[in-house]
């Protein structure tokens, strides 16, 4: 499963995958229909390890932990859009702990925010969050990827992409 961080005024808290031994089950599956460019054209369940840059997510887990999400075309109402992806540490790095992962994910997503939205975080109607590795995914499958999520600052849904909105 993944751990998901919600959008907050100061940035984002990380979300992550929990209990992953290997990429099995729904965490490794994609039940959407995508076009040749990889964009979702028909909604479906997407496993935490199959979420892609540009995917729009209908709703996020309330408890911060998830194995899969309902992904939808960005033209449909959604709570989040994946706007950036980056890696923490290298393959040999030891688990740095939740506070360090959350801090680095927050800073990395903040640093990438303005280039995607086209305005500064402070002047935007958007907030952001992140999907981060958990201790288990870091240690068991070398998961280092952080996915950055654009959300509406007030928690409402949006339609379309937030790119240069």
CB neighbour class for 98 (10 Å; exposed up to 12, middle 13-18, buried from 19): middle
User: What pLDDT does 21 receive?
Assistant: 37
Q: What is the CA 126 to chain-centroid distance, rounded?
A: 15
Q: Taking the complete model, does pTM exceed 0.95, yes or no?
A: no
User: Is residue 165 assigned to a domain?
Assistant: no
Which segments of 19-133 are extended strands (E)?
33-34, 40-42, 44-47, 56-57, 65-66, 68-72, 80-87, 126-132
Strands 145-152 and 126-132: antiparallel
Which residues form the domain of 90? 2-152
Q: pLDDT in tens for each of the 165 residues of the chain? A: 445 444 333 333 344 443 333 345 678 899 999 999 999 999 999 998 999 999 999 997 766 678 889 999 999 999 999 999 999 988 899 999 999 999 999 999 999 999 999 999 999 999 999 999 999 999 998 999 999 999 999 999 999 999 987
User: What pLDDT does 1 receive?
Assistant: 40
HSE-up of 108 (CA within 13 Å, CB side)? 24
- Which helix (H) or strand (E) element contains residue 14? strand 14-17
Residue among 54, 56, 24 nearest 43 (CA):
56
User: What pLDDT does 62 receive?
Assistant: 66
User: Is residue 29 assigned to a domain?
Assistant: yes
Total number of domains constituting the chain = 1
User: What pLDDT does 123 receive?
Assistant: 94
């Amino acid at each position: 499963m993944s751990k998901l961080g919600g959008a907050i005024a100061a940035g984002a808290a990380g979300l992550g995958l929990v209990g992953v031994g290997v990429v099995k089950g729904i965490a490794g599956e994609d039940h959407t229909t995508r076009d040749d460019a990889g964009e979702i054209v028909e909604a479906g369940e997407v496993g935490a390890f199959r979420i892609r840059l540009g995917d729009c997510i209908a709703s996020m887990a309330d408890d911060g932990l998830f194995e899969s999400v309902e992904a939808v075309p960005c033209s449909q109402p959604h709570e989040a859009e994946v706007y950036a992806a980056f890696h923490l540490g290298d393959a040999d790095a030891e688990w740095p702990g939740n506070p360090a992962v959350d801090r680095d994910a927050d800073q990395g997503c903040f640093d990438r925010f303005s280039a995607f939205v086209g305005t500064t975080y402070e002047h935007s109607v958007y907030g952001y969050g992140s999907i981060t590795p958990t201790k288990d995914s870091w240690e068991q499958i070398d998961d280092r990827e952080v996915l950055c999520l654009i959300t509406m600052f007030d928690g409402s849904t949006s339609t379309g992409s937030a790119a240069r909105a």
